Amino acid sequence: MNEIRFHGRGGQGVVIASKILASALAREGKYVQAFPLFGGERRGAPVRAFTRVDDKPILIRSNIYKPDFVVVLDSSLLKAEDVTAGLKTDGQILINTEKGLDELTALGGFRVATVDANKIAQENRLGSRNAPIVNTAILGAFARVSNLVKVNSVLDSLGEYVHQKVIESNRKAIIEAFDQINVLR
């Protein structure tokens, strides 16, 4: 089983990202779960979402405490909470940031990858300039770095969760992020 924990803020599409990923994995014949964890529903509040995937039915029904992957949609959360808590020793972290390796040294020995999903979302007019919606861009990067899901499966799952008016912009964001991923270590 692979477990993915998403960290983000309300309004970034964290919950939808976990659902799109689950749908994409289900399209590939996998068993999946996707569910959120958040307090007061307000824009900007910290939000977590979880996705599990396996080749056999998933019987566990709890939050994810020892993820294989951590996906951070808002890099300011790196200072606000320990996003690496419980991350398996060989775990991977994907961060939406424009920062370089020297600014991410506090992440220990984990394999880290970055993508500037904010820039990609802004260029594709997803959300506003000050509050870009980065969920689909981060999924494109996740498909590349994780080797857990095919990018075409993510693209095919968009229609279930994204309004038809912005499907093409989201498709472009996914592909651009897939191509622009930076694996730091």
Kindly report, residue by residue over 124-179, the tens digit of the pLDDT: 999 888 889 999 999 999 999 999 999 999 999 998 998 888 899 999 999 999 99
The pTM of this model reads 0.91
Provide the token pair at 35.
Answer: 């569910």
Average pLDDT, integer, range 106-119: 84
How would you classify the pairing of strands 31-38 and 2-9? unpaired
Average pLDDT, integer, range 18-45: 85
| CATH class of the region 2-183 | alpha beta
Q: What are the boundaries of each domain within the chain? A: 2-183
pLDDT score at 82: 85
Q: Residue 33's closest CA among 10, 1, 73?
A: 1
Banded model confidence at residue 77, pLDDT cuts 50, 70, 90: confident
pLDDT score at 106: 63
Alpha-carbon torsion, ordered 34, 15, 89, 115, to 10 deg: 130
Contact at 8 Å (CB) between 63 and 146? no
